[in-house]
């Protein structure tokens, strides 16, 4: 009789523990993504809070966790630069959220399955490459001007500016730590299994900051090289920290272009993450992709109004949630509540985190998205997979994410078209008898191949045309064959058609595929 309540209590315990684990993973990532995006750290925390307290309650997924995504950093940086202000960018996030709600209402969630896997992998790999490239200057503490003077005792002059030796050392050690943290040998230790790698890197950075300030203040990291989170000791301070969208920019075409890019890429990343979470969920629970898009849209609207970064469902935090034993969406809600509490209670501690450690976390994330093994694996899968993969990467790096994805999809479509058109017709010969077989659906695109086959048939021949395997024959193909048949008597060619579908029957088969399949 008491089983349901005991089960709910057990699930709540699991969710509380998982929520704490996800919070520890999300905290450094929210700060790092905000810093990499060139905005205040508070903006990253806002997105994490909204992802936990808004999206999790609206989503149909039990284990997915939402927040600021490393995959959107590149879009954010370029968008803010092109639009000229963060408030204009927030207007684009607001529109992107509305577009995502529209995607959900139109049931567009299933459309993501039409995007080739090679293109998706190329998109993620290009994001990884750009993350690494853009975080390297921050990782080595590249400074100039007043910052260089502030850290003069621990800098190395280069043609690009002064490099902070302390930041470089911290970044290198943090990257090594993050890679070592994921090795099977390290997983044998309980502390490694319990403490997320990003939190370990951040803890190392805080310890280094405190140690240098105490024992070697001359080489200690200046405040410019650390997180600078505003202390929120009152509601007035909270209100001043919140940035509002510039609503006058809602009619700007450039803002809409950024919004469309955000909506498409964020929706793709969300749906991919949702699919991945369903695969690792021990209970294999499925969630509606359309409901998820609507939840993400509402979350992005709220995040924009509160001055947060755009958010998506994110696989790193979601997988941490699953592996920590989460049972329901309450774990994501708890992680959001803890992020909210940290804004008020942990500001002093968070401001000790070196930016180099956050850069190291994103460099490590970028490597996992664009690891050399991925390129080797795609190359082994053949030209039809590797070419769209490489075209997507080249397109993204040369232009932007949306155009790059379009280039990848177009390349995949061309290769698929080539494969479908190859050997649509086969012509075999025995003495003066020829067999012309339609091996698949014949469209106008395969007309040159048909003309080539017919040109090989000499006068005085006997031709059998077999269309048994063709469910559809384009009118252009019919006209070409009809012209050949009309010309045949003059050339003393005998033509027979085997199982040749009539146009009316063919249309019926196209309109009623279920009847054809069961007939």
Q: Which pLDDT value is given to residue 225?
A: 87
Q: Could you give the CA distance from residue 500 to residue 435 in angstroms, rounded to a whole number?
A: 14
DSSP letter for each residue of 419-488: HHHTTSEEEEEETTEEEEEE-S-B-GGGHHHHHHHHHTPPTT-EEEEE-TT-S-B-HHHHHHHHHHHHHT
Q: Which pLDDT value is given to residue 417?
A: 80
Q: Which pLDDT value is given to residue 256?
A: 96
Structural domains of the chain, with CATH: 3-370 (no CATH), 383-420 (no CATH), 423-518 (3.30.750.24)
Q: Which pLDDT value is given to residue 323?
A: 83
Q: Which pLDDT value is given to residue 23?
A: 93
Count the neighbouring beta carbons within 10 Å of the beta carbon of residue 260: 15
Count the neighbouring beta carbons within 10 Å of the beta carbon of residue 135: 27
Q: Could you give the CA distance from residue 61 to residue 103 in angstroms, rounded to a whole number?
A: 18
Q: Could you give the CA distance from residue 482 to residue 100 in angstroms, rounded to a whole number?
A: 50
Buried b (16+ CB within 10 A) or exposed e, 275-299: bbbbeebeeeeebbbbebbbbbbbb
Q: How far is CA 373 from CA 125, 368, 370, 404, in A?
A: 11, 10, 8, 22
Paired residues of 68 in beta bridges = 311
22: helix, strand or coil: helix
Tokens of 367: 């490597």
Tokens 């105490």 found at: 214
Tokens of 26: 């999300």
Supply the pTM of this predicted model.
0.77
Stated length of the chain: 519
Q: 50 near 303, Cβ under 8 Å?
A: yes
Q: Which pLDDT value is given to residue 3?
A: 44
Q: 249 near 93, Cβ under 8 Å?
A: no
What are the helix (H) ranges across 51-116? 56-58, 73-83, 86-105
From the list 78, 402, 404, 90, the residue with the least C-alpha distance to 252 is 90
- Alpha-carbon dihedral 377, 379, 381, 384, rounded to 10 degrees: 140
Paired residues of 107 in beta bridges = none
What are the helix (H) ranges across 346-382? 347-350, 355-369, 372-380
Q: Which residues contact 315 (CB under 8 A, 6 or more apart)?
A: 272, 273, 276, 277
Q: Could you give the CA distance from residue 241 to residue 306 in angstroms, rounded to a whole number?
A: 9
Q: 258 near 82, Cβ under 8 Å?
A: yes
Q: Which residues contact 518 (CB under 8 A, 6 or more apart)?
A: none
pLDDT tens for the chain, residues 1 to 519:
444 554 677 788 889 989 998 998 899 999 999 988 989 999 999 999 999 999 999 998 999 999 999 889 889 999 999 999 999 999 999 999 999 999 999 998 887 778 888 998 898 899 889 889 888 888 888 754 444 444 445 677 777 777 888 899 999 999 999 999 989 999 888 888 888 888 899 999 999 999 999 998 888 888 888 888 887 766 677 777 888 999 999 999 999 999 999 999 999 889 888 888 888 888 888 889 999 999 999 999 999 999 999 999 988 889 888 888 889 999 999 999 999 999 888 888 999 999 999 999 989 988 988 999 999 999 999 999 999 999 999 998 998 777 888 999 999 989 888 777 777 888 999 888 999 998 777 888 888 889 989 999 999 999 999 888 887 888 888 899 989 999 999 999 999 887 766 654 444 344 333 333 333
- Alpha-carbon dihedral 266, 269, 272, 276, rounded to 10 degrees: -120
Backbone angles phi, psi at 83, to 5 degrees: -85, -20
Q: Could you give the CA distance from residue 282 to residue 512 in angstroms, rounded to a whole number?
A: 39
Q: 392 near 415, Cβ under 8 Å?
A: no
From the list 321, 229, 232, the residue with the least C-alpha distance to 30 is 229
Tokens 């997988």 found at: 319
- What sign results for the dihedral spanned by CA atoms 279, 281, 285, 289? negative
């Amino acid at each position: 009789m008491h089983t349901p309540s005991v089960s709910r209590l057990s699930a709540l315990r699991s969710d509380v523990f998982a929520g704490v684990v996800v919070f520890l993973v999300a905290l450094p990532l929210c700060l790092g993504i905000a810093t990499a995006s060139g905005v205040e750290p508070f903006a990253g925390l806002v997105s994490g809070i909204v992802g936990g307290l808004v999206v999790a309650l609206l989503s149909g997924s039990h284990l997915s966790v939402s927040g600021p995504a490393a995959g959107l950093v590149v879009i954010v940086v370029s968008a803010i630069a092109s639009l000229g202000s963060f408030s204009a960018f927030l207007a684009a996030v607001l529109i992107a959220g509305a577009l995502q709600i529209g995607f959900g209402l139109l049931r567009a969630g299933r459309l993501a399955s039409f995007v080739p896997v090679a293109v998706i992998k190329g998109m993620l790999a290009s994001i990884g490459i750009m993350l690494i490239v853009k975080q390297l200057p921050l990782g080595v503490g590249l400074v100039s001007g007043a910052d260089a003077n502030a850290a003069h005792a621990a800098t190395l002059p280069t043609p690009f500016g002064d490099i902070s030796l302390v930041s470089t050392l911290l970044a290198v050690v943090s990257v090594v730590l993050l890679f070592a943290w994921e090795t099977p040998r390290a997983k044998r230790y309980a502390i490694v299994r319990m403490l997320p790698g990003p939190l370990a890197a951040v803890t190392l950075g805080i310890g280094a900051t405190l140690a240098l300030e105490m024992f070697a203040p001359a080489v200690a990291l200046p405040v410019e090289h650390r997180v600078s989170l505003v202390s929120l000791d009152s509601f007035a301070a909270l209100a001043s920290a919140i940035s509002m969208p510039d609503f006058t920019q809602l009619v700007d075409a450039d803002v809409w272009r950024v919004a469309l890019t955000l909506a498409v890429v964020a929706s793709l990343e969300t749906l991919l993450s949702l699919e991945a979470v369903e695969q690792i969920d021990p209970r294999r629970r499925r969630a509606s992709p359309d409901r998820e898009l609507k939840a993400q849209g509402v979350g992005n609207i709220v995040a924009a109004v509160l001055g947060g970064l755009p958010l998506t469902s994110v696989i790193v935090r979601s997988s941490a949630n699953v592996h920590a034993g989460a049972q329901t969406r309450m774990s994501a809600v708890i992680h959001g509540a803890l992020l909210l509490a940290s804004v008020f209670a942990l500001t002093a501690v968070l401001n000790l985190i070196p930016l180099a450690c956050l850069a190291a976390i994103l460099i490590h994330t970028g490597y996992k998205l664009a690891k050399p093994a991925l390129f080797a694996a795609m190359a082994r899968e053949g030209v039809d997979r590797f070419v769209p993969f490489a075209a997507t990467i080249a397109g993204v790096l040369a232009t932007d994410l949306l155009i790059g994805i379009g280039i990848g999809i177009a390349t995949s479509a061309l290769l698929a078209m080539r494969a479908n058109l190859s050997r649509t017709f086969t012509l075999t010969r025995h003495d003066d008898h020829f067999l012309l077989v339609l091996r698949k659906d014949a469209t106008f695109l395969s007309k040159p191949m048909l003309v080539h086959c017919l040109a090989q048939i000499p006068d005085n021949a006997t031709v059998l045309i077999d269309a048994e395997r063709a469910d559809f024959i384009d009118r252009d193909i019919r006209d070409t064959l009809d012209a050949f048949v009309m010309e045949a008597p003059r050339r003393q060619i005998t033509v027979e058609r085997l199982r040749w579908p009539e146009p009316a029957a063919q249309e019926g088969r196209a309109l009623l595929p279920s009847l054809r399949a069961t007939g």
